[in-house]
Amino acid sequence: MAIQSVGVIGAGQMGNGIAHVFAQAGYDVLMTDISQEALDKAVALIGTNMDRQVSREKITEDEKKAAMARIKTTMKLGDLGQTDLVIEAATERETVKQAIFEDLLPHLKPETILTSNTSSISITRLASRTDRPEKFMGFHFMNPVPIMQLVELIRGIATDEPTYNALHEVVEKLGKTSASAEDFPAFIVNRILMPMINEAVYTLYEGVGNVKSIDQSMKLGANWPMGPLELADFIGLDTCLAIMNVLHDGLADTKYRPCPLLTKYVEAGWLGRKTGRGFYDYRRDVPVPTR
């Protein structure tokens, strides 16, 4: 399974980061989104991020130009059908992902490998809605993709060994490290991380500490580079809530019940950095706690 071309579905935070690292590793990348504006913004952001790498002497100017030349965009999902590997990085909603794969299937080459960058949804269930469950895997990158070294590889019940081996080799070519996870809700990283964030929100909800004291306690007392509420804002509170709901529904254990305060923030549209407000207000020069 020689993989040379890669299709990336979604030009958001994860999609543009995935396109960045694949192009830099020498793969031809075709990125799609439902908005041309989103695609243009993604390419511009990739260019800015690569400029930063050049300034830090991580890559050369020539390497940056070659990588940018390998990135193409399209608004036609079917155009991705001729790529060797497809990585879906759309919204973390199962119905959306299923609809994307359903629309893509008629255009695929028989040998194309399908993957999802989902952070929590069942790979077996997603794969079962396609015509190639044996060539379907979870390919979960961490955010921000160009910086974070880990990629979770998640096999569905039907995933075959050649597919797993092919993706394992891809991760190595990207210069990253893979961790194999079983197909259980939220896999490894988010199975551990999200309940910790959710507990921090409960600590705020119950008045044990305010936003500043909770984040300061974990940064200075547990040596975290970011506090849990600051991290939740960075990830997106809607994503945090979606993963907690997957854990709660999938494992039927009350310890995964999303904190009502997390739900309230999402209902208010206070989703963190991307909307300007979350546990912090980012509309000024210095973020200010909202509680």
Catalytic annotation, residues: 119, 140, 152, 190
99 is in an annotated binding site: no
Q: What is the DSSP letter of 138?
A: E
255 is in an annotated binding site: no
DSSP state letters, 82-97 = GSSEEEE---S-HHHH
89 is in an annotated binding site: no
Q: What is the DSSP letter of 1?
A: -
Distance CA(268)–CA(188), nearest Å, equals 30
Query: Is the separation of the CB atoms in 104 and 81 below 8 Å?
Result: yes
11 is in an annotated binding site: yes
10 is in an annotated binding site: yes
Query: Is the separation of the CB atoms in 9 and 100 below 8 Å?
Result: yes
- For 56, 97, 161, 217, the CA distances from 145, given in Å and listed in that order, are 17, 20, 26, 27
58 is in an annotated binding site: no
Distance CA(244)–CA(101), nearest Å, equals 24
SS3 for 227-282 is: CHHHHHHHHCHHHHHHHHHHHHHHHCCHHHCCCHHHHHHHHHCCCEHHHCECCEEC
Tell me the binding residues for NAD(+).
10-15, 33, 92, 97, 119, 143, 274
Binding-site residues, in ranges, read 10-15, 33, 92, 97, 119, 143, 274
